[in-house]
Structure 1
Amino acid sequence: MSPSVLPPLSLYIHIPWCVQKCPYCDFNSHGLDRRKDQTLPEQAYVQALLQDLEQDLHWVQGRKLHSIFFGGGTPSLFSPQAIDQILAGTAQRIPFEDNIEITLEANPGTVEQGRFEGYYTAGVNRLSIGIQSFSPDKLKRLGRIHNRHDAIRAAESARKAGFTRFNLDLMHGLPEQTEQEALADLQQAIDLQPDHLSWYQLTLEPNTAFYQSPPPLPEDEILWQIQESGQAMIHQAGFRQYEVSGYSLPGSEARHNLNYWQFGDYLGIGAGAHGKISQLNAAGTGLDKIIRTTKYRSPKQYLSAIQPLSDQKIIQQEDLPLEFFMNVLRLKEGVPEALYQARTGQAIASTEPILQHLRQLGLLQTGTGRLATTEEGFSYLNAVLEQFLSAE
């Protein structure tokens, strides 16, 4: 095995600050303290990111970068000049693939036309715009800082700035949301002509304000109707569901996310960023181990760290089946069977009893040469994955 047959390598860059923390968000994000007139430590953070990347270069192992994703928090709080510095510094350290995808998450309440143009000039070629809803009432309930006009203007500004690829991030099952309201949100998003939609149900995650004080959510019957009607609307508009919450026009799948779901490798830099790396053995003939990395969560601690790596964890052999399948089975088409050994270093025969049981239950496809769920299995994905969890 050589570096050329290692998994593709992506880079995730975490920007941890927001204007304010949303009550449903469980990501490592930190609202700016306006009472203290807090300002972004933009330049200090740019330098910390590049130092962080420098210390991770031994994981590259001769590969080029397949994709880059700026997530958060709210990356669009950073100036185009800062994003340009980060991308230029990254390119000096790791070569890019010719068709690299570079995505930046943007909040409609923090962007303007000139900013989008600046990001595009810096090398960003895809945006993910966090709309969540177009309803004034629902946006207020979600703690969002933008309004309906901001959301529509952001999508229009992205196109004017030159972006042919942009995702709209939309949630359903919002507090007291009706089916009609959810579908109106979805239709408005489709009308803005993105090439990709992330459409998913609001869930109450631990360590969030909503979890501590749950808002009144729609009944299960309404949630089911929203899901059924919404997916039909999305399909009618020409989008294809290719993963659990991802819908794209043909050829517009998010390459960065696909690399995650295909158990590819990614470096993670920034406060609280996670990475997953496959390491070759000394002879370069096979995988030695797969490692997950985590960086300091606290932005203050991250900025002051001499070495911003807080944890490394080798994925144990007995945990690899669950780790692999909880990613690849998110994809409607799954992956070729051969990918299991290529990405884990294990023979697929080790998982055959579980796979056979799932096929007998009608939850996993048979005779296709692929590791993929059936339609029923995709609908009950958690139950499928529990089979691998119980086998540990």
Structure 2
Amino acid sequence: MALIAPPLSLYVHMPWCVKKCPYCDLNSHGLRDAPPPYADYIDVLLADLDADLADFGAALHDRPIVSVFFGGGTPSLFAPGLVARFLDGARARLPFADNAEITLETNPGTVEHGRFDGYLAAGVNRLSFGIQSFDDDKLKRLGRIHSAAEAEAAVKSAQDAGYTNLNLDLMYALPQQTLDGALADVARAVGLAPTHLSHYQLTLEPNTAFAANPPPLPDDDHAWSMQEACEAALAAAGYGQYEISAYARPGRRCTHNLNYWQFGDYLGIGAGAHGKVSGTATGQVHRRWKAKLPRAYLEAAGGPARIGGDGTVDAAELPFEYMLNALRLIDGVPMGDFAARTGLDPERLKAPLQDARRRGWLTDDAARLQTTAQGQRFLNDVIGLFLD
């Protein structure tokens, strides 16, 4: 079956942060004595983009960019003028949708962000704050360098600068956290009136400081109680859950993340960035990721050494990859999207779909791929059914 070109996004990885958090398994690198070469990095990002466009140009079909996401690390370590230089360069190379969502991740500490009005003038129309908690003790345990008061002040500062589209990241099941503590964090976040909230459980990821020396975390039953209670509190405050860990005011769902979950395409620019491009002519899904270490990425300067890995996704792996994203959505996706985004016959899903529905993990709607409440709780098991 033929692949149909999905929406196209742009992910830009900014790898530096002030200090590496003990729970973080992302490609982030704490600041050393000498400041990072921020301006040089912008030049290399644009060279990387040029090289990817040369490689994938035929598959992009002049599709407009529907979203840009600056992730990290802490992208707001880059001054607004540098962010503007990248966006201006990207717009000169690619068409942008008129309503393109452009998100910049930022942390609340005053040393970690530039002037918010500067980012707004640069073209960034959405900010995502890595707050994690409003409890100073929990912030200290998480290795964060900001306080609850600084978090509130930073959000209000962004709103005063003119931002009307803000996401706040919160964690739950933190070291020795109680149910009341998790609900208090949600209440403080809601009080700031963001348009979007990401609320996810702290997990121990391999190769992190927390994995080597685990802190005392709530058990699974207590973590589930926190999740259920916080979901109810967010719903009562007007935030609709549309993904396992994402909640939004009406009309404020994150375009960029929705494109991931709906198996859309995205160019990945920057150290360690991952990308996905659908080849409608070849009928294949191509994945590419970049050299992980900032020094190696910078030295490649847009050349072949910038690529850390490259290749098409085997057809046998596509059902799992598709479900890994699509089944995170609370409302699911139309069944027809599977064939359009993978080029595969839906018959390949017949056996695992029957198994999932028999277990009560998926709804009985044959026209839609959608988990039940039980399926959401055991999502990893549901997705595992689609492994080759």
| TM range, smaller chain | over 0.9
Deviations 1:79-134 (A, max 9, x none): 00000001000000001011100000001014689611000000000010000011
Q: CA deviation at 1:185?
A: 0.9
User: Which of 297, 304, 309 in structure 1 is aligned with 2:299?
Assistant: 304
2:372 is the alignment partner of 1:377? no
Q: Say what the alpha-carbon RMSD is for the aligned residues.
A: 1.6
Task: Give the CA deviation at 1:361.
Answer: 2.1
What CA distance in whole angstroms lies between the structure 1 residues aligned with 2:324 and 2:113?
39
Whether the aligned pair in 2 keeps the contact of 1:77 and 1:110 (CA below 8 Å) is: no
- The 8 Å contact of residues 131 and 151 in structure 2, kept in 1 or not, is answered as yes
CA distance in 1, matches of 2:369, 2:86: 37
Q: Secondary structure at the match of 1:102?
A: strand
Give yes or no for contact 2:78–2:114 (8 Å, CA) kept in 1: no
Tell me if 1:161 matches 2:150: no
Q: Indicate conservation of the 8 Å contact 2:274/2:289, yes or no.
A: yes
Out of 354, 360, 363, the residue aligned to residue 361 of structure 2 is 363
* Contact 1:113–1:161 (CA under 8 A) maintained in structure 2: no
How many Å apart are 1:183 and its aligned residue? 1.1
Is 2:40 the partner of 1:41?
no
Contact preservation (8 Å) 1:296, 1:309: yes
Distance 1:124 1:79 in 2: 12
CA-CA distance at 1:40 after TM superposition = 2.1
What is aligned with 2:79?
Answer: 79
- 1:38 Cα offset (Å): 1.5
1:293 to 280, 288, 295: 288
Q: Is the contact between residue 77 and residue 112 of structure 2 (CA under 8 Å) also seen in structure 1?
A: no
Provide structure 2 residue ranges, at least 5 long, that are not aligned to the other structure.
none
Q: Does 1:128 align with 2:128?
A: yes
Letter in 2 for 1:318: A
Give the share of equivalent positions with the same residue, in percent: 53
Residue 27 (structure 2) aligns with? 28
Change (3 A) 1:309 1:110: farther
In structure 2, give the amino acid aligned to 1:272.
Answer: G
Look up the match of 2:65.
65
Distance of 1:86 and 1:139 partners within structure 2: 32
Please give the alpha-carbon distance, in whole angstroms, between the structure 2 residues aligned to 1:100 and 1:250. Answer: 18
Partner residue in 2 for 1:16 = 15
Q: TM-score, normalised by structure 1?
A: 0.94
CA distance in 2, matches of 1:181, 1:339: 40
Judge conservation of contact 1:172–1:182 (CA < 8 Å) in 2.
yes
Sort the Cα spacing of 1:81 and 1:186 in 2 relative to 1 into closer, same or farther, 3 A.
same
Match of 1:317 among 307, 315, 318: 315
Counterpart residue type for residue 98 of structure 2: D
Residues 1-392 of structure 1 aligned to structure 2 (within 5 Å): 5-33=4-32, 37-57=33-53, 58-59=55-56, 60-110=60-110, 115-281=115-281, 287-305=282-300, 306-307=303-304, 308-367=306-365, 369-389=367-387, 392=388
Query: Distance in 2 between the 1:229 and 1:49 partners?
Result: 42
For residues 324-350 of structure 1, give each alpha carbon's deviation from its aligned partner in whole angstroms, at most 9, with x where no partner exists: 011100001111111011000011112
Shift of 1:383: 1.1
When structure 1 is superposed on structure 2, of 307-316 and 239-248 the one drifting more is 307-316
Q: Report Cα offsets for 1:145-173 as digits up to 9, x if no partner.
A: 11111100111111111111100000011
Q: Return the alpha-carbon distance in structure 2 between the equivalents of residues 222 and 378 of structure 1.
A: 17
Offset of residue 309 of structure 1: 1.5
Matches of 1:22 and 1:237, distance apart in 2: 30
Q: What SS is found at the alignment partner of 2:68? A: strand
Count residues in correspondence: 381
Contact 1:9 1:266 in 2 (8 A): yes
Code of the residue aligned with 1:168 in structure 2: it is L
Q: Letter of the 1:244 partner, please give it.
A: I
**Structure 1 pair 89/112, CA: closer, same or farther in 2 (3 Å)?**
same
Name which of structure 1's ranges 115-124 and 351-360 shifts more when overlaid on structure 2: 351-360
Structure 1, gaps ≥5 residues long: 282-286
2:106–2:112 Cα contact (<8 Å) kept: no
Alignment partner of 1:388: what SS? Answer: coil
